[in-house]
Amino acid sequence: MKKLALLLIFILTIFQGISQTKGISYQAVILNPESQELPGVNAEGNILANTTVGIQFTIIDASGNQEYQESHTTSTDNYGMLNLLIGTGNPSSSTDFSDIFWDGTTKKLKVAIDFSGGSNYSPLSEQNLTYMPQPPTEQVSAAIESNAEAITNEITRATAAEELNAADLAAEVSRATAAEEAIQADVDANQVASELGDATLTTGLAAEASRATAAEEAIQADVDANQVASELGDVTLTTDLAAEVSRATAAEEAIQSDVDANQTASELADATLTTDLVAEVSRATAAEEAIQADVDANQTASELADATLTSGFGAEVLRATAAEEAIQADVDANQTASELADATLTTDLAAEVSRATTAEGAIQADVDANQTASELADATLTTNLAAEVSRATTAEGVIQADVDANQTASELADATLTTNLAAEVSRATTAEGVNATAISALQTEQITQNTAIAANTATIGEIKQTIALSMPSGWVKLDGAAISTLTSTQQTEAANLGLVGNLPNATNAYLSQNGSALGSVSGSNSKTIAQNNLPNVTLSGTANSAGNHNHYIYGNTSDDLSAAGGNSDYVLSNNDGSGTGEYTATAGAHTHTVTTSSINGGVAQQAMDITPSTLSVNTYIYLGL
Amino acid sequence: MKKITLLLLVLVATTTFAQQIYIEGGKTLASFDYKNSQGVRLENLQATPHSFMTVGYRDQLFIKNLNISLGTSYAGYGAIGSDDTVGNYMEWDVNYLEFNTGLDYRLFKIKKAHVYIKGTASMAFLVQGTQTINNMVIDLKNQDDFDKTVFDFRAGFGFRHLISENLAFYVQYMRGKSLKLKDGTAVTDDQEELRYVSDNISFGLLINIAKK
Residue A223 has a pLDDT of 59
Angle between helices A223-275 and A138-219 (to 10 degrees): 170
Residue B17 has a pLDDT of 44
Cα separation, A316 vs A335, whole angstroms: 24
The upper half-sphere exposure of residue A525, i.e. CA atoms within 13 Å in the direction of its Cβ, equals 10
Residue B184 has a pLDDT of 58
Per-residue confidence at B98, pLDDT binned at 50, 70, 90? very high
> Which of B66, B161, B168 shows the shortest CA–CA distance to B111?
B161
> Which tens digits make up the pLDDT trace of A284-319?
688 778 878 877 887 787 788 778 777 777 787 787
pLDDT at A19 over 50: no
The terminus-to-terminus CA distance of chain B in angstroms comes to 38
Question: Does ipTM come in above 0.85?
Answer: no
Residue A116 DSSP one-character state = T
Name the more confident of A313 and A394.
A394
Cα separation, A119 vs B36, whole angstroms: 30
> Cβ of A47 and B86 within 8 Å?
yes
Cα separation, A400 vs B78, whole angstroms: 91
Q: How many CB atoms lie within 10 A of CB A231?
A: 12
Q: Averaging pLDDT over each range in A118-127, A286-295, A509-518, B166-175, which range is the top one?
A: B166-175
Using a CB-CB distance cutoff of 8 angstroms, which residues of chain A are in contact with residue B36?
37-38
Q: By the 8 A CB rule, do A220 and A342 touch?
A: yes
Per-residue confidence at A453, pLDDT binned at 50, 70, 90? low
Angle between helices A223-275 and A277-457 (to 10 degrees): 20
Mention every residue, 6+ apart, whose C-beta is less than 8 A from residue B171. B158, B159, B201, B202, B203, B204
> Cβ of A49 and B182 within 8 Å?
no
pTM, 2 dp: 0.39
CA–CA distances in Å: residue A402 to residues A271, A393, A411, A501, A555: 21, 14, 14, 99, 155
SS (H, E, C) A388-409: HHHHHHHHHHHHHHHHHHHHHH
> Cβ of B83 and A36 within 8 Å?
yes
Using CB atoms within 10 Å of the CB of residue B52, give its burial: 0 to 12 exposed, 13 to 18 middle, 19+ buried: buried
Mention every residue, 6+ apart, whose C-beta is less than 8 A from residue B2. none
Q: Which of A38, A42, A50 to mutate to test the interface with B (most CBs of B within 10 A)?
A: A38
Q: Averaging pLDDT over each range in A200-204, A228-232, B89-93, which range is the top one?
A: B89-93
Q: How many CB atoms lie within 10 A of CB A342?
A: 19
Per-residue confidence at A456, pLDDT binned at 50, 70, 90? low
A231-245, A591-605, A607-621, B183-197: least confident range: B183-197
Name the more confident of A594 and A178.
A178
Length of chain B: 212
pLDDT at A360 over 50: yes
> Which of A250, A215, A415 shows the shortest CA–CA distance to A323?
A215
Task: Specify the long-range contacts of residues A480-486, CB closer than 8 Å, at least 24 apart.
Answer: A480/A504, A480/A505, A480/A507, A486/A623
> Which of A149, A152, A260, A244 shows the shortest CA–CA distance to A198?
A244
Q: By the 8 A CB rule, do B195 and B29 touch?
A: no
Cα separation, A487 vs A35, whole angstroms: 74
Q: What is the mean pLDDT of residues B27-43?
A: 87
Cα separation, B106 vs B65, whole angstroms: 5
- Nearest Cβ partner for B133 among A43, A47, A49: A43
pLDDT at A51 over 60: yes
Q: Averaging pLDDT over each range in A167-171, A383-387, B51-55, which range is the top one?
A: B51-55
Residue A531 DSSP one-character state = G
Beta pairing, strands B167-178 & B193-208: antiparallel
Cα separation, A47 vs A32, whole angstroms: 5
Residue A4 DSSP one-character state = G
Name the more confident of A80 and A266.
A80
Considering all CA atoms of chain A, what is the largest pairwise distance in Å, rounded to the nearest integer? Answer: 235
Residue A604 DSSP one-character state = P
Cα separation, A191 vs A378, whole angstroms: 13
pLDDT at B87 over 90: no
Which helix (H) or strand (E) is A113 found in, with range?
strand A107-114
> Cβ of A39 and B182 within 8 Å?
yes
Which helix (H) or strand (E) is A128 found in, with range?
strand A122-129
Length of chain A: 625
Cα separation, A304 vs A553, whole angstroms: 187
Name the more confident of B26 and A271.
B26
Cα separation, B133 vs B152, whole angstroms: 26
Q: What is the mean pLDDT of residues A349-367?
A: 85
Using CB atoms within 10 Å of the CB of residue A464, give its burial: 0 to 12 exposed, 13 to 18 middle, 19+ buried: middle
Cα separation, A152 vs A123, whole angstroms: 52
Q: By the 8 A CB rule, do B181 and B194 touch?
A: yes
Cα separation, A462 vs A513, whole angstroms: 14
A36 touches chain B (CB under 8 A): yes
Rg of the Cα atoms in chain A? 71
Q: What is the mean pLDDT of residues A480-492?
A: 92
Residues 97-126 of B with CB under 8 A from A: none
Using CB atoms within 10 Å of the CB of residue A603, give its burial: 0 to 12 exposed, 13 to 18 middle, 19+ buried: exposed
pLDDT at A522 over 70: yes
Residue A455 has a pLDDT of 59
Q: By the 8 A CB rule, do A462 and A622 touch?
A: yes
Task: Specify the long-range contacts of residues A500-503, CB closer than 8 Å, at least 24 apart.
Answer: A503/A476, A503/A478, A503/A479, A503/A621
Residue A50 has a pLDDT of 87
A172-176, A350-354, A567-571: least confident range: A567-571
In A101-114, which positions are buried (b, 16+ CB within 10 angstroms) versus exposed (e)? eeeeeebbbbbbbb
- Nearest Cβ partner for B138 among A2, A41, A47: A41
B190 touches chain A (CB under 8 A): no
A116 touches chain B (CB under 8 A): no
Q: pLDDT > 70: what percent of chain A?
A: 82
Residue type, A333: A
Task: Supply the DSSP string of B120-155, one letter for each residue.
Answer: EEEEEEEEEEEEEETTEEEE-TT-TTTSS-EEEEEE
Q: What is the mean pLDDT of residues B151-161?
A: 93
Q: By the 8 A CB rule, do B94 and B76 touch?
A: yes
pLDDT at A232 over 80: yes
Helix, coil or strand: residue B159: strand
Residue A9 has a pLDDT of 43
Residue A137 has a pLDDT of 60
Cα separation, A400 vs A407, whole angstroms: 10
Using a CB-CB distance cutoff of 8 angstroms, which residues of chain B are in contact with residue A2?
37
The terminus-to-terminus CA distance of chain A in angstroms comes to 74
Residue A439 has a pLDDT of 85
Size of interface A-B (CB pairs under 8 A): 47
pLDDT, chain B, mean:
85
Residue A495 has a pLDDT of 92
B146 touches chain A (CB under 8 A): yes
Q: By the 8 A CB rule, do B173 and B156 touch?
A: yes
pLDDT at A562 over 80: no
> Which tens digits make up the pLDDT trace of B100-138?
999 999 888 888 889 999 999 999 999 999 999 988 999
Q: By the 8 A CB rule, do B140 and B131 touch?
A: yes
In chain A, the residue whose alpha carbon lies closest to the alpha carbon of B130 is A40
> Which tens digits make up the pLDDT trace of A583-601?
566 555 666 666 777 777 8
Specify which residues B175 forms β-bridges with. Answer: B155, B199
pLDDT at B155 over 90: yes
Using CB atoms within 10 Å of the CB of residue B38, give its burial: 0 to 12 exposed, 13 to 18 middle, 19+ buried: exposed
B145 touches chain A (CB under 8 A): yes
Q: What is the mean pLDDT of residues A158-184?
A: 81
Mention every residue, 6+ apart, whose C-beta is less than 8 A from residue A541. A594, A595, A596
